[in-house]
Structure formats: structure tokens, C-alpha cells
Chain A
Amino acid sequence: MVISVAWVVLLAAAVTWELYCGFVDRRWVSLTRIAAVVAQKPVGRLFLFAAWAFVGWHLFARYTLPP
């Protein structure tokens, strides 16, 4: 239970930090900006696409409903 809460806190913190970096204090680097820098090169774009496709496939086509 504690670790489940830790996961939720970690995800919430990541989303909050992303919004803070994107809209409040732009001196900090947001994930969007990191992705934009990575996407400047074809290999980076391929990596981002592969990561996006993997996450979607894993989350929405191959998730396991708990009993």
C-alpha cells in the first residue's frame, strides 16, 4: 500500500513539476522541452516514437485486468 501511494505521489509530482516548468518558471527544463531537444535529430524522433508506441501498446492493448 505504501509503495502504491509512493507511485501515485511520484506521478502527481511529475505532472505538477511539468506544469510548473511549462507555465510558471521557464528557467527549469520541462519534459516537453527535453523531448523537443531529443526530437531535433532523426534518431531522437525514432526513439520518441518507439517509446510512445510501446507505452500505448503496453497500456491499452495488453493491460491485465486484476481479478
Chain B
Amino acid sequence: MPGRIACILCVAAFGYWATGLRPFTLTCYFAVGIPIVVVGSVLAFAGRTPIEGQRQLRAEPVRLRRVLPWLLAASATACLEGLGLALGGRSSAVPTLSTVLDHALTWHALRLVLFCGWLVLGSVPLVALVRRHARVS
């Protein structure tokens, strides 16, 4: 448990530092690049990463009807993004997702939350690898 708390604090501290850097700078590229390199290395060298509940997934194939809400959301996203891009991409009346996110990212707290969420998503194969090693040993 103390290890987990230390891990969370380290991720939060790294996230606070990384999201406080100016974009388009070498330090910023370095800060965002480290997790990408780590996760990429894990995926490249760890071989077949086990996925939680994989047997269950094989038993229950994904049916199209059950994915329909996501397809509708993807269609709505594509329509809004296409419309925004058709109007130049920087229109304040019809902004693209990037423009909306750029405005949202002016808040450091939101940047920090999104960055930590991004790190958590990326850590899934890393956590799976650690669990597999723990199970083997």
C-alpha cells in the first residue's frame, strides 16, 4: 500500500512538472516522450501482454448492436470535426475538437488531470507485465 501511494504521488508530481512546461519546447517533448518510450519499450520487448479477462472476451464476442452507441458517437464526432475543418479549422462559431481542447488546456489543473489520465491509460500494459511477473515468481 505505501508503494502504491508513493507511485501515485510520483506520477502526480511528474504530471504537475510536465504540464507546467511550455509547449513546443525540447523539455516538453522530453517530458511527454519519456512515457511514450517506456510504454513502447514494454510493448516491444515484453512479447504478448496478457489482458485481464481475456478468456471471457473470447467467450463473449462483441456484437454490432451493443457497439451502436459508440458508432453513433464516432459519427457525430466525425461530422462536427469535418464541419469545423471545412470552415478553416479555427472558426470560433464551429470549432474543431482540437480548438475546444486548446481552450480547455489553458487551465493547468485540467491539463494535469488529463495528463495523469493519459499516463494511467498507457500504464495498462506495464501493470499487466508486473502482475504476470508477480504470478510467475
A residues near B, CB below 8 A?
1, 3-4, 6-8, 10, 13-14, 17, 27-29, 31, 33-34, 36-37, 39-40, 42, 45-46, 49, 52-53, 55-66
Contact = CB atoms under 8 A, between A and B. Distances in A.
A10 B80 contact: yes
Interface of chain B, main secondary structure: helix
Contacts of B94: 3
B84 A28 contact: no
Interface of B: 18-19, 23-24, 28-29, 31-33, 35-36, 39-40, 43, 48-49, 51-54, 57, 62-63, 66-67, 69-70, 73, 76-77, 80, 83-84, 93-95, 97-98, 100-103, 105-106, 111, 114-115, 118, 121-122, 125
Contact of B66 (A1, A4, A29, A31): A29
Q: Which among A13, A45, A53, A59 has the greatest number of chain B C-beta atoms within 10 A?
A: A59
Given A29-B67, A37-B57, A57 B40 contact: no
B32 A7 contact: no
Given A4-B100, A27-B66, 20 more contacts: A3-B93, A4-B95, A7-B97, A10-B77, A36-B52, A36-B53, A39-B51, A42-B48, A49-B39, A56-B32, A58-B98, A59-B105, A59-B118, A60-B23, A60-B31, A61-B29, A61-B31, A61-B32, A62-B23, A65-B105
Given A29-B62, A49-B40, A63-B105, A36 B32 contact: no
B24 to A, nearest CB: 6
